[in-house]
Amino acid sequence: MNWFVTILDFISKQILNVPAYLIGIVAAVGLIALRKPAGQVIGGGLKAAMGYLILGAGAGVVTAALAPFGELILKATGAHGVVPTNEVITAQASTQYGATSAYIIVLGFVVMLLLARFTPLKYVFLTGHHMVFMATLLAVVLSVGFGHEKGLLIVIVGSVLMGVIMVVMPSFAQPYMNRVTGDDKLAIGHFNTLGYIASGAIGSKIGRESRSTEDVKFPQGLKFLRDSMVSTTLLMAILYLFFAVWVAIKLPKDEAMKIFGSSATPPTDYGAYIMAAFAQALQFGIGVAIILYGVRIILGELVPAFQGIAEKVVPGARPALDIPIVFPFGPNASLIGFISSFVGGLVMLGLIALWFGPWWGMALILPGMVPHFFDGGGAGVFGNATGGRRGAIVGGFVNGLLITILPAVLLTVMGSLGLSNSTFGDADFAWFGSVVGGLAHLHALGGTIALLVLALVLFAAAWIWQVRVVDAGWLPATQHAEWLQEQKAATAAAAKEAAAKAAAKTQSENPEQT
């Protein structure tokens, strides 16, 4: 049996754990279904995989640039607590739960494909690293609840739960995703979907007459800020330098210099220290630019290829992709959402420290720069799509509240891992893991029945939502979209009238030219 576990472990960690391979395979399968020539199949698969690798490279640059920024904030504010980082908690859990999570991820993927093939929930979840995170989370909370000796039961129940959640959450988010993209070809496959739905719903309520973040009117001297790469880098430079100066004033020189000690030439004086902070801000802007380029390549290769899968393998299926896929639809919104989410995280951190912690024993969840950038940025895009600038700001803020309080709740059902210095950082991991972990504490029989009922309820609700809402063509924030169209029409009419008046004036002043 060990050889079978080894094979499953290889598939889960070396293939399904690498989103680029999964994306490339899907693109190739789609092109094969379309009966494209072998050369086009190979080229399309490779380009799709490379596009995802480019996206990952950009994410890596952003993550590396955010690491010292997060340390600057912690040093400046003096906060201590748990930092939610999916990769860290997964690595901590892998030694004890690796085999169980390998079974869950492979069988859960099969369950997802079956549900997508034979039900109206035609979504194929393609964010491989989030599948690994979810499988690990389920392995942990089910093992804690059922007991480690219930290995087979844990795998069966975990696989069903994982397959269900991978088609349910994209369905619930699809109307908001359609509003973001302007069509129904893509779905969101990222386990912070609760935050995106909340942001989109809030935006539709508060931003009916709020202009888009992408329509910001810059003064003539600030036109350069319309370039999202420039505006993003400039804002991060301001934030980086602000906290760098704060830390330099607050801490002894040697301790402040250690924050950038991982660079090739660690700073030895305050001048080099400030420039090291500025360089990290530039790296952040470069990472965002790389992400946007990778997204364009993925869309160019994956969407046409997916038509083949829709026609042959899973008719009518939508690819559910990672959250950076929406960033090009609102570059300014993603930056606003990131900042608003971070502020929301700080506010909830204060509430936990003053209230939830002392009363309910919750751990302090520190604002992690990576989840706030990706989750908050996505929430900003969804909020902007339904509520303009107000939606982006408030939606991002609410997302920050969610990804701070919910991980604190999750820690209470994670057993010994709840005592570690990290936890899962996205909203869906937190709420779903907390519910599953709580029901699993009913032990084997009662927990199994309760969890299968949970899966059935979620699946039935998503089925009804898909048929009556998504397939019926409902879109949120219709009034907001109509108002934006009216504003654009009015602006165009005013510009046309101004041009006509200018032409008439010119003609009256220079009649000989007519």
Instruction: Give the whole-angstrom CA distance, residue 299 versus residue 305.
Output: 10
Instruction: Dihedral sign for Cα 327, 328, 332, 333, please.
Output: negative
pLDDT at 226: 54
pLDDT tens column, 455-482: 999 999 999 999 999 999 999 988 887 7
pLDDT tens column, 70-112: 778 777 766 656 778 777 677 677 768 877 887 888 788 889 9
Rg of the chain in Å (alpha carbons): 25
Top mean pLDDT of 58-62, 118-122, 144-148, 504-508 is at: 118-122
Supply the mean pLDDT for the chain: 83
* Lowest-confidence segment of 82-96, 125-139, 394-408 by average pLDDT: 82-96
pLDDT at 446: 92
pLDDT at 284: 80
Where does the pLDDT of residue 422 fall: very low under 50, low under 70, confident under 90, or very high at 90 and above? low
Q: Three-state secondary structure along 25-75?
A: HHHHHHHHHCCCCHHHHHHHHHHHHHHHHHHHHHHHHHHHHHHHHHHHHHH
Instruction: Give the whole-angstrom CA distance, residue 96 versus residue 467.
Output: 41
Between 439 and 316, the more confident residue is 439
User: Is 430 within 8 Å of 134 (Cβ atoms)?
Assistant: no
**Pair type for strands 123-125 and 187-188:** unpaired
Q: What are the two backbone dihedrals, phi and then psi, of residue 187, each rounded to the nearest 5 degrees?
A: -125, 165
The average pLDDT across 112-126 equals 92
- Give residue 255's region: left, alpha or beta (phi > 0; psi -120 to 50): alpha
pLDDT at 228: 59
pLDDT of 297 higher than 90: no
Q: Which of 231, 250, 230 is nearest to 72 (CA)?
A: 250
pLDDT tens column, 235-276: 778 878 888 888 888 888 778 888 876 555 667 778 888 888
Between 208 and 449, the more confident residue is 449
* Lowest-confidence segment of 292-296, 314-318, 383-387 by average pLDDT: 292-296
Report the C-alpha dihedral over residues 437, 443, 446, 452, rounded to 10 degrees. 40
* Burial degree of 270 (CB within 10 A; 0-12, 13-18, 19+): middle
Q: In the chain, where are the structural domains located?
A: 2-417+424-500
pLDDT tens column, 12-49: 667 766 667 777 887 787 788 778 888 888 888 888 88
Find residue 82's DSSP bridge partners.
365
pLDDT tens column, 348-375: 988 888 887 677 777 778 777 778 888 9
**Pair type for strands 187-188 and 422-423:** unpaired
User: Is 62 within 8 Å of 284 (Cβ atoms)?
Assistant: yes
- Number of Cβ within 10 Å of residue 60's Cβ equals 12
Q: Which of 87, 142, 115, 98 is nearest to 5 (CA)?
A: 98
Instruction: Give the whole-angstrom CA distance, residue 493 versus residue 497.
Output: 6
pLDDT at 18: 66
Between 394 and 34, the more confident residue is 394
Where does the pLDDT of residue 131 fall: very low under 50, low under 70, confident under 90, or very high at 90 and above? confident
Instruction: Give the whole-angstrom CA distance, residue 308 versus residue 356.
Output: 51
Helices 151-181 and 128-146, interaxial angle, to 10°? 140
The fraction of the chain above a pLDDT of 90, given in percent, is 32
DSSP calls for 72-137? HHHHHH---SBEE-HHHHHHHHHHHHHHHHHHHHHHHHHHHHHHHHHSS--EEE--HHHHHHHHHH
DSSP H or E segment with residue 188: strand 187-188
pLDDT tens column, 301-328: 766 666 566 567 788 888 898 898 999 8
pLDDT of 296 higher than 80: no
pTM of structure: 0.77
